[in-house]
């Protein structure tokens, strides 16, 4: 029996370690979108997770204001000095940078940041992107394409080249969390919308969504929502969902992806790093599932507290696809807990992770770290099965590994 278990465990570690991954939520952009695509040592070191961490250990004279006034390499120097050299790269975001440098064959032990920078400076972004995808073994990564961001919209309207490994998603937060700014954007785009929520306005919002869907062919619509998100209620948000977003999503035939639980700008001085987390109400998702039986929903939640209830809901509705260990949950201790819980409640009918990579190079560490954790959880589950007499074949192990890393998502989209 122990030989059988050892051989199964080896097969699981190989399958999880080698399966191709589909990364279903990132903040990456095509190289043709210029500086929107972040990559290289200084971008990794100034990732907002690490900026927030810097200010947990920063010397008294270093204020956020002073930090943001510095050029990026100087900002990166401060993170490297205070988070890595003086306090040890023990956090997930810091260890991730080390993992990435290591897997790129850079001299991590030498700690020569300037030498590492020189290596990145010699990379050609198009070739480097392909190298990162190959190193992480990712077939495609879904972007976050936000037509309400003027810079992004300008690039999107130019139909610039985009490698096939980058897939579009239509990001629509302002429609739900800042309708006033959304109206301005849509008016500038020629939509006959007004702040007063008339049927004409909702029809125009739907036309805006259909127009962008025709242009970029998104895999899904996406929005991140606060812990206070409720549905239905008597808010404008519920009307926008019912009168515009869901009719458009159903007409285009794409899921509506909700990332729920972010408490925006709890410390605005930290910029993107200033967001926090709150426990949300899973019943809002339940009501949407009940209201839209023909709809498809992808949901990830930011609070660890919400995970079990969300899994139970996904057992009740095949139209709900649970994905990722989002942001503050993307730490090995929580990834292990969530993956174990999801396997126990959902089998392989979920997507175990998304990278949320904002910096291209992060794909390497976010997936290397996830593969390691998920492999051990799966070894445990298969061990229980082998002890009970079930003999998973190598093909079945590879099938199940792929399911967790994008296969179930593909099936969900195709259903
Ligand atoms: O709303 C989102 O897509 C979040 O993932 C981001 O806003 C967040 O800053 C992030 O990148 C978390 O990993
Ligand atoms: Zn994100």
Label residue 91 left, alpha or beta by phi (over 0 means left) and psi (-120 to 50 means alpha). Answer: beta
User: Rounded to 5 degrees, what angle do the CA atoms 162, 167, 171 make?
Assistant: 110
- Ligand 1 centre distance from Cα of residue 356 (Å): 6
Q: What per-residue confidence (pLDDT) applies to 193?
A: 96
pLDDT tens readout for residues 283-335: 999 999 999 999 999 999 999 999 999 999 999 999 999 999 999 999 999 99
* pLDDT at 148 exceeding the cut of 90: yes
pLDDT tens readout for residues 188-227: 999 999 999 899 999 999 999 999 999 999 999 999 999 9
Mean pLDDT of 388-392: 97
Ligand 1 nearest atom to the CA of residue 173, by list position: 1
- Could you tell me if the CB of 95 is within 6 A of ligand 1? no
pLDDT tens readout for residues 120-146: 999 999 999 999 999 999 999 999 999
- Ligand 2 centre distance from Cα of residue 326 (Å): 8
> Confidence band (pLDDT; 50, 70, 90) for 261?
very high
* pLDDT at 342 exceeding the cut of 90: yes
Q: Which residue has the tokens 């495609």?
A: 140
User: Rounded to 5 degrees, what angle do the CA atoms 358, 14, 411 make?
Assistant: 60
- For the question of whether the overall pTM of this predicted structure is more than 0.95, the answer is yes
- Ligand 1 centre distance from Cα of residue 148 (Å): 16
Strand, helix or coil for residue 259: strand
- Could you tell me if the CB of 300 is within 6 A of ligand 1? no
**Average predicted confidence (pLDDT) for the chain:** 98
pLDDT tens readout for residues 11-37: 999 999 999 999 999 999 999 999 999
Mean pLDDT of 346-350: 98
Residue 261 near residue 42 (C-beta atoms within 8 A): no
Domains of the chain by start residue, with CATH: 2-414 (3.20.20.140)
* pLDDT at 1 exceeding the cut of 90: no
- Could you tell me if the CB of 156 is within 6 A of ligand 1? no
Nearest ligand by distance to the CA of 25: 2
| Gap between the Cα atoms of 66 and 74, Å rounded | 11
Q: What per-residue confidence (pLDDT) applies to 47?
A: 98
* pLDDT at 267 exceeding the cut of 90: yes
Determine what percent of the chain is predicted with pLDDT higher than 90. 99
Ligand 1 nearest atom to the CA of residue 48, by list position: 9
Nearest ligand by distance to the CA of 24: 2
| Burial of 163 per CB tally in 10 Å (0-12, 13-18, 19+) | middle
DSSP 140-167: EEE--B-TTSHHHHHHHTTT----TTEE
* pLDDT at 78 exceeding the cut of 90: yes
* pLDDT at 155 exceeding the cut of 90: yes
- Ligand 1 centre distance from Cα of residue 204 (Å): 28
Mean pLDDT of 223-243: 98
Q: What per-residue confidence (pLDDT) applies to 160?
A: 97
Q: Residue 364 CA to chain centroid, in angstroms?
A: 14
Determine what percent of the chain is predicted with pLDDT higher than 70. 100
Strand, helix or coil for residue 257: strand
Pairing mode, strands 21-23 and 166-167: unpaired
């Amino acid at each position: 029996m122990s030989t059988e278990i050892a051989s199964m465990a080896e097969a699981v570690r190989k399958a999880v370690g080698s399966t191709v991954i589909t990364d279903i939520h990132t903040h990456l952009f095509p190289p043709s979108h210029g500086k929107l695509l972040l990559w290289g040592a200084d971008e990794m070191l100034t990732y907002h997770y690490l900026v927030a961490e810097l200010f947990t250990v920063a010397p008294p004279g270093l204020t956020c204001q002073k930090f943001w006034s510095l050029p990026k390499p100087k900002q990166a120097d401060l993170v490297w000095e205070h988070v890595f050299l003086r306090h040890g790269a023990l956090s997930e975001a810091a260890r991730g940078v080390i993992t990435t440098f290591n897997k790129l064959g850079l001299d991590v032990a030498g700690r020569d940041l300037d030498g590492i920078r020189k290596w990145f400076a010699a990379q050609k972004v198009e070739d480097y992107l392909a190298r990162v995808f190959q190193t992480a073994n990712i077939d495609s990564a879904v972007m976050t394409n936000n037509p309400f961001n003027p810079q992004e919209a300008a690039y999107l309207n130019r139909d610039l080249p985009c490698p096939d490994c980058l897939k579009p998603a239509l990001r629509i937060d302002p429609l739900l969390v800042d309708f006033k700014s959304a109206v301005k954007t849509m008016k500038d785009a020629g939509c006959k919308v007004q702040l007063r929520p008339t049927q004409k306005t909702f029809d125009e919002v739907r036309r805006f969504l259909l127009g962008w869907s025709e242009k970029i062919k998104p895999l899904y619509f996406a929005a991140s929502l606060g812990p206070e998100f409720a549905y239905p209620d008597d808010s404008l948000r519920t009307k926008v969902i019912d009168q515009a977003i869901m009719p458009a999503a159903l007409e285009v035939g794409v899921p509506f992806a909700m990332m729920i639980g972010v408490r925006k700008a709890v410390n605005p001085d930290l910029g993107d790093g200033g967001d926090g987390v709150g426990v949300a109400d899973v019943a809002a998702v339940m009501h949407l599932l009940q209201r839209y039986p023909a709809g498809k929903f992808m949901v990830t939640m930011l609070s660890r507290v919400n995970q079990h209830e969300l899994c139970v809901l996904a057992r009740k509705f095949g139209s709900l696809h649970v994905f990722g260990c989002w942001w503050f949950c993307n730490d090995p201790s929580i990834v292990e807990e969530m993956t174990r819980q999801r396997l126990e409640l959902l089998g392989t009918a979920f997507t175990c992770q998304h990278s949320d990579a904002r910096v291209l190079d992060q794909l390497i560490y976010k997936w290397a770290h996830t593969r390691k954790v998920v492999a051990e959880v799966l070894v445990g589950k298969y061990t229980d099965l082998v002890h009970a007499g079930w003999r998973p074949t190598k093909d079945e192990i590879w099938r199940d590994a792929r399911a967790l890393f994008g296969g179930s998502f593909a099936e969900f989209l195709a259903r």
